[in-house]
Amino acid sequence: MKALLINGSLHAKGSTRAALQLIAESLEEEGVEAEIYQMPHKPIQGCAGCFRCMDTGENRCAVKGDAVNEILEKMEGSDALVLGSPVYYASPSGQILSALDRVFFAGRTLFPGKPAAAICVARRAGATAAIDVLQKYFMICGMPIAPSTYWPMVFGMSEEEIMRDPEGVQNMQMTGKTIAWLLKCIEAGKSTGVVYPDPPGGEKISTNFVR
């Protein structure tokens, strides 16, 4: 079993990375491989709404040359997903949002049934709003959200400050443990024939409000 953890901060050794490392360590203690993917210092185009990804059926975005298809490739080999971001204006980083809009649209068949968690790192406020934005991606793609001991946030501007937030540290550690627990429950279910259900009728229905 493997979990992909995405660092939505451009600071490769900053507070968000430190929070994700706590989750990774908990996952590995439970026997789950954890990979932290660092968002690159390159511009990421937002989704153009071209729908070309729907024509190929390959779980790849038609726009090439940035992190999106690399993330999708890694997700193909992952059983769980963790999104981590700093809080900017009570929202996740623009870098990760631009990527996720395309990742979840182009690769929407990769996600159903895979456990997920979103964590945010804040100096002071805005974390719950930012977490809510990230969790929306999971909810629309059928991903069970792993719980923790509190809202999955931690406070601090550096790794040192984060480690002085004991409740936040525990939140991160528990997030890793509950993801591992969900993965083990899913594996146990599969062994008895319990699998993620298909939509009633066999295909997802999409309707427009305007007729």
pLDDT score, position 57: 78
pLDDT score, position 12: 94
pLDDT digits 0-9 by tens, 13-66 = 999 999 999 999 999 999 999 999 999 999 899 999 999 998 877 899 999 889
- By DSSP bridging, strand 153-155 and strand 80-86 are unpaired
pLDDT digits 0-9 by tens, 183-199 = 999 999 999 999 999 99
**Model confidence band, residue 112 (pLDDT cutoffs 50, 70, 90):** very high
Helix (H) or strand (E) holding 26: helix 15-29
Domains in the chain: boundaries: 2-191
What average pLDDT score do residues 135-153 get? Answer: 97
CB burial class (10 A; 0-12, 13-18, 19+) of residue 135?
middle
pLDDT score, position 204: 85
What are the residue ranges of helices labelled H in the chain?
15-29, 52-56, 67-76, 94-106, 127-140, 159-162, 166-191
pLDDT score, position 115: 98
Cα dihedral 183/186/192/198 (nearest 10): -150
pLDDT score, position 37: 98
pLDDT score, position 71: 97
pLDDT score, position 82: 98
What average pLDDT score do residues 88-105 get? Answer: 97
pLDDT score, position 203: 86
Q: Rounded to 5 degrees, what are φ and ψ at 57? A: 65, 25
Percent of the chain having pLDDT more than 90? Answer: 88
Report pTM.
Answer: 0.95
**Model confidence band, residue 70 (pLDDT cutoffs 50, 70, 90):** very high
**Model confidence band, residue 103 (pLDDT cutoffs 50, 70, 90):** very high
Superfamily of domain 2-191: Flavodoxin domain (3.40.50.360)
How many helices (H) and strands (E) in the chain?
7, 5
What average pLDDT score do residues 100-107 get? Answer: 96
**Bridge partners of residue 86, in order along the sequence:** 121
**Largest interatomic CA distance in the chain:** 56
Average pLDDT over the chain, rounded to an integer? 95
pLDDT score, position 149: 94
pLDDT score, position 1: 96
Cα dihedral 120/17/8/35 (nearest 10): -110
